[in-house]
Amino acid sequence: MNTDKEAVPSGQWQVTGEGKEPDGEEWVPLSVRNARQMRRDWWPSIWMSFASIIILAAALAILSYRMGAQSCH
Which has more confidence, 72 or 66?
66
pLDDT tens digits, one per residue of 4-63: 555 555 555 555 555 556 566 678 888 888 888 888 888 888 889 999 999 999 999 999
Query: How far, in Å, are 55, 56, 70 from residue 63 at the CA level?
Result: 12, 10, 11
Give the pLDDT confidence score for residue 17 in this predicted structure.
Answer: 58
Domain ranges of the chain: 3-18+25-71
E strand map for the chain: 3-7, 13-17
Distance, in Å, from the CA atom of 16 to the CA atom of 28, rounded to the nearest integer, reads 14
